[in-house]
Chain A
């Protein structure tokens, strides 16, 4: 049953990822991105990372992908994108894709990643474990991240302000 669920979510995620890349319409692509994130959250649940799955849905699918949708609608880009299966970049893309797939294949077929048997983490204590780690071992990174969020907020405010002087100069 769990194996079936893994296959289901994995295939769903990969299909939605392909949908993000091949969709001509940016709105459809961002909706595919949201679905792909839901699939990844399902995989997280199977890895016993319940809190991360929840945060992924909340932050990524809820905020980030919705922000993408907003921007796509705001810019109202008409779909006259040349899909561009030509030129040097496309060849580079295919070669890189093939190389990555070959690497994956060689790992999957030859090498087995040996590991100790999975340790089961008590599900109820998950949040406590995160909190303990965040406030002891990773206290400095947490503060740096808070500062980074502040900086990015200021940056976004500055970037999205209208610059009259620059407009005049143009």
Chain B
């Protein structure tokens, strides 16, 4: 059923990655920075699935399985860190979390 070329999928995944990267750099809210990180991760999985489909092997798909698992663990730990940070500092804005700078 795959009619769009591999190039198209790779372009979509690269555009998604670029948008996520942009979000990580310009946003100040830690939660949205984290969401942008997830976007980048999803972009890479899309590329993996497309390459795997074109090559006709299962390796890329299985790798995406592992990525999904690690991402779930990562999100759980990251959000716990953000909640702990919020309890301590009462903010999630990156600008105000600069204790190490001074």
A interface residues, Cβ below 8 angstroms from B: 2-3, 6, 10, 13-14, 17-18, 20-21, 23, 26, 29-30, 33, 36-37, 40, 43-44, 46-49, 51-52, 55-56, 59-60, 63-64, 67-68, 71-72, 74-75, 77, 81-85, 89-90, 92-94, 96-97, 100-101, 103-104, 107-108, 112-113, 115-116, 118-119, 121, 129-130, 133-134, 137-138, 141, 145, 148-149, 151-153, 155-156, 159-160, 170
Q: A20-B35, A64-B71 are in contact. List 20 more A-B contacts (CB 8 A).
A: A2-B2, A46-B2, A47-B49, A49-B49, A52-B68, A63-B72, A64-B38, A75-B31, A75-B82, A84-B27, A92-B25, A96-B22, A100-B21, A104-B15, A107-B10, A113-B7, A115-B54, A138-B62, A155-B77, A156-B80
Complex-state Cα separation, A3 to B77, whole angstroms: 39
Q: Give the A-B pair count, Cβ closer than 8 A.
A: 228
Size bracket, chain B contacts: 35 or more
